[in-house]
Chains A and B, each alone.
Chain A
């Protein structure tokens, strides 16, 4: 059975529904062999429960009434609510929290007959870029177990890269889908703000949070986006828009052949802080693009240098407000402290329940919003945010997309970045732009350097996912490196 891509799996299972059970057994075999090494999952569902769901999907396949994702085993980041399935945000404060409802994206996946296989590890409350900030354990990069898989959706990317799932959902506030996709050799897509409902996504920074797919090919990402995108009356920021064709059709068009497009590189995105091998690889990829009728222009936009502090001020401010809800009363950590003041009891719950980085961000977020500092930090950052968005949007009137390396560095070693918060924040330099501006961005594997995956980021104007998927699928078709299979699982997959 061919299992290299989500589309392969769906096709195989549609032709021969019995293969669904075989595929599930096979996937759990891979999990048994590699999960101890990579630790992608916080909660893995029992195979028996998954097989029970599969029986229902099988019956529909036999009757020819199965949905578009029949056959898919989807790994879900542990900040997306799944009814009856523990959802921890990789935090002690939600360690035993079981949501009484499904997020909209989960309802939509299930209605197309996808099966949820488990909930994946992440940086606590999505605060981090390496998946080392999980309260439970770090996830390891399947390409090199001494390195981080990126974050914060590191478990979702690792599960996909190591064939422990057919594909995954992540969330992206400042690059949390694209960073781990890039470091693990996957495709990661952050849609336009509002294209996918956030209902049921545990909030980090609400003005930037978006759910999106992590897959092994662009077409796989397009198919999942087709299923999860669309308006939702439970998220007032969701957008009611329809495209003439499905996203999968746009991706297929791109992979079939010659697409002409004008691309632009912002010089500040490949400036200081970028590692030499990443730069050389990027230049090599540009030569490939130009040899395939894609025009590449270089331009300087100095405002982009301010994106990182702008992002962190806004993200921390919103986080401090969103995380005010955790008091351990209605759900979450229960400490059983009594007879103290109201302040002491709740501060005790929160101090025991939140990890170091989360506390740091809540404190700084409270600071930048507090009287006397609001104007100097939060308001100023929100103004710089407008300047950044205006520059990107106007650039995207002239050019079809902005390209850059997704990450300025190769996957760091475990422990290398986490020791210094500024060193950790620095690797988000190219990804935060799309969240500040609300525009879509994708990371696609573009190279292997010293046996480690490198990603190319493509950003388009808002609600131009059609163009984004067409161009990135075209690029994927001539770079010819996806789907990538890490050496760790090569023996089991091919």
Chain B
């Protein structure tokens, strides 16, 4: 459980996580976000009550034999189709933003 919550501390790590996730946190949404996130993490902490000693994690339902396809050359999307949602393109290339 989060025993004593230091709001400033939480704000700091939310900004750090935001940087990792490429999400800006605007000042006007910060207060509410911090409040909600503290509540949700507290709800997650309920799992600490469960004894998970010697339990193997389950990441997805086990499959005896996954469907594996042959590695064959097949016709995929045309260049036009593959680029149809690109906003800026130059001679068949995607033009990215100028960054510094």
Inter-chain contact B82/A341, CB cutoff 8 Å = no
Q: Closest Cβ of chain B: how far from A330's Cβ, in Å? A: 6
B50/A387 in contact, CB under 8 A = yes
CB pair B84–A98 under 8 Å, yes or no, is yes
A87 CB, min distance to chain B CBs, angstroms: 10
Whether B52 and A346, one on each chain, are in contact in the complex, defined by CB atoms closer than 8 angstroms, is: no
What 1/0 flags go to A371-395 for Cβ under 8 Å of B?
0000001011111111101000000
Write the nearest CB–CB distance from A379 to chain B, whole angstroms: 6
Output the nearest chain A residue to B51 by Cβ-Cβ distance: A387
Residues of A contacting B33 in the complex (Cβ-Cβ under 8 angstroms) = 359-360, 363
Which residues of B sit under 8 angstroms from A238, Cβ to Cβ? 67
Partner of B22, one of A98, A336, A347, A462: A347
Q: Which residues of chain B are within 8 angstroms of A329 by Cβ–Cβ distance?
A: 86, 94, 96
| Complexed CA–CA distance, A421 and B32 (Å) | 11
Per-residue 0/1 for B67-86: is the Cβ within 8 Å of any A Cβ (1 yes, 0 no)? 11100000001000110111
**Is there a chain A Cβ closer than 8 Å to B7's Cβ?**
no
Interface positions of B from 1 to 45, Cβ below 8 Å from A: 13-14, 17-24, 26, 29, 33, 36-37, 39-41, 43-44
Contact residues in B for A339 (Cβ distance below 8 Å): 98-100
Instruction: Count residues of chain B with CB under 8 A from any CB of chain A.
Output: 53
Q: Say whether chain A's binding surface is mostly helix, strand, loop, or mixed.
A: helix
B55 contacts A by Cβ under 8 Å: yes
Q: Cα distance A354–B41 when bound, in Å?
A: 21
Instruction: Give the contacting residue for B60; candidates A207, A240, A356; CB below 8 A.
Output: A207
* Chain A residues with CB under 8 A of B61: 193-194, 207, 389, 437-438, 462
Closest residue on chain A to residue B95 by CB atoms: A329
Q: Tell me the chain A residues, 412-470 only, with Cβ under 8 Å from chain B.
A: 421-422, 425, 437-438, 462
Q: Which A residues are in CB contact (< 8 Å) with B90?
A: none
Q: Are A236 and B68 in contact (CB under 8 A)?
A: yes
Residues of A close to B69: CB separation below 8 A: 233-234
Q: Which residues of B contact A336 (CB under 8 A)?
A: 97
Say yes or no for A146: interface residue by CB 8 A criterion. no
Task: Check: A97 CB closer than 8 A to any chain B CB.
Answer: yes
- Asked if B92 is at the interface of the complex by the 8 Å CB criterion, the answer is no
Q: How far is the CB of A291 from chain B (nearest CB, A)?
A: 36
Q: Contact check: which of B48, B66, B98 meets A237 at CB < 8 Å?
A: B66
Supposing A207-B60, A232-B67, A382-B59 touch, asked if A363 and B47 sit within 8 A by C-beta, the answer is no
Contact A345 B86 (CB under 8 A): no
In the bound complex, residues from chain B placing their C-beta under 8 Å from that of A26 are none
* A236 near B81: Cβ-Cβ < 8 Å: no
B-contacting 9-mer, from A6-14, A46-54, A309-317, A483-491 = A309-317
Do A338 and B97 form a contact, CB below 8 Å, given A363-B17, A382-B57, A385-B58?
yes
CB pair A360 B37 closer than 8 Å: yes
Query: In the bound complex, how far is the Cα of B66 from the Cα of A346, in angstroms?
Result: 35
Bound state CA distance, A364 and B100, in angstroms? 29
Residue contact A341 to B17, C-beta cutoff 8 Å: no
CB–CB A342/B99 < 8 A: yes
Once bound together, how far apart are the Cα atoms of A451 and B97, in whole Å? Answer: 55
Contact residue among A206, A236, A309, A337 (Cβ-Cβ distance under 8 Å from B47):
A309
A297 at the interface (CB under 8 A from B): no
Which single residue of chain B is at the shortest CB-CB distance from A437?
A: B61
| Binary interface encoding of chain A residues 75-109 relative to chain B, with 1 for a CB under 8 A from any of its CBs, else 0 | 00000000000000000000011101100000000
Which residues from A are CB-within-8-Å of B67? 231-233, 235-240
A341 neighbours in B (Cβ, 8 Å): 99-100
Q: Check A351 for interface membership: any CB of B closer than 8 A.
A: yes
Say if the beta carbon of A473 comes within 8 Å of chain B: no
Q: What 0/1 readout, one digit per residue, does chain A (326-338) give for beta carbons within 8 Å of chain B?
A: 0111111010111
The 7 closest A-B pairs by CB, nearest first: A438-B61, A331-B85, A382-B57, A386-B58, A233-B69, A207-B60, A100-B81
A-B contact pairs, 30 of them (CB 8 A): A96-B85, A100-B81, A193-B61, A207-B61, A233-B69, A237-B60, A239-B67, A306-B47, A309-B43, A309-B47, A312-B44, A313-B44, A324-B22, A330-B85, A331-B86, A332-B85, A336-B97, A345-B99, A346-B22, A351-B26, A359-B33, A360-B33, A362-B23, A363-B17, A377-B44, A381-B44, A382-B57, A386-B55, A389-B58, A422-B40
Interface residues, chain B, CB within 8 Å of chain A?
Answer: 13-14, 17-24, 26, 29, 33, 36-37, 39-41, 43-44, 46-50, 52, 55-61, 63, 65-69, 77, 81-82, 84-88, 94, 96-100
With A360-B36, A386-B55 already in contact, 11 other A-B pairs whose C-beta atoms are closer than 8 Å: A206-B60, A312-B40, A332-B85, A334-B87, A343-B19, A363-B21, A382-B57, A382-B58, A387-B52, A387-B55, A421-B40
